[in-house]
Amino acid sequence: MIKFSIITCTYNAAKEVGRTLDSVLAQTYHHVEHLIIDGASKDATMQLVRAYERESEEAENDHELVVISEADSGLYDAMNKGIGMAKGDYVVFLNAGDVFPSPDTLELIAGSVGDGEALPGVLYGDTDIVDNAGRFLRHRRLAPPAEGLSWRSFSEGMLVCHQAFYARTDLAKRNLYDLSYRFSADVDWCIRVMKEAERQGLPLKYVGMVVVNYLDGGLTTKNHRRSLRERFQVMSHHYGLPMTLWKHFTFLFR
């Protein structure tokens, strides 16, 4: 059976983290490892996490839970810690405020891989955007293709939301986040994971459903201009400057 390593990185996230923890706890799929990587929060985040630990021990879903709280060098450093600790077949990041759409989301994702089928390099799905109260706002504007996704596809933008991107753990461990990027290391990471999958001849599989409700207004939204500059650097590195300039020109007419 496929085992998922869900990584939740937190820092002073008491206002948002509760619904994320509740969402993971509610998952009916049993083969789950939940890694909570806290950056030494100064608010009530860890109180909520400790309460979640107690609830998790009493739950019948047999989820494994690992919690650390220590100073780090930012979000992507915390994500690298999570990848280093992960023992599942796939890693996915579900950060404070993000939730699974339904209790059977992980069951359905696991079921998308047929019996006897080699594990794809990436499992990916669709994303809905929600507000602070968890209310649906809109479908994500950029949507992944049902077929033909490759690392080259991200020249059109980040077609798969980071939280809807399930990377095989062995690929993720070979391709940690580049800490020289502060706001767009997730884009670079997804591209490098897909490149690694291609080198190994591993398919990228669309699961055909919404797999995450993403909280509107994340880190890159709050730092939009700096994020855009970094994304330009990421695209130039992977696709070359001429292609990147051309793609950014066409973005103006979307």
pLDDT per residue as tens digits for the range 129-150 = 998 888 899 999 999 999 999 9
User: Per-residue pLDDT tens for 71-125?
Assistant: 999 999 999 999 999 999 999 999 999 999 999 999 999 999 988 788 999 999 9
Q: Are 168 and 122 in contact (CB under 8 A)?
A: yes
CATH 3.20.20.80 at 4-251, yes or no: no
The ranges assigned to domains in the chain are 4-251
| Cα–Cα distance list, 94 to 20, 24, 238 (Å) | 7, 9, 26
Q: What is the pLDDT of residue 39?
A: 98
Tokens matching residue 24: 């993971």
In terms of pLDDT, which residue wins out, 228 or 23? Answer: 23
| Count of all residues that appear for the chain in the document | 254
Task: Read off the pTM.
Answer: 0.93
With a cut of 90, say whether residue 69 has pLDDT above it.
yes
With a cut of 90, say whether residue 246 has pLDDT above it.
no
Q: Are 30 and 61 in contact (CB under 8 A)?
A: yes
Please give the torsion angle defined by the CA atoms of residues 156, 162, 163 and 165, in that order, rounded to the nearest 10 degrees: 80
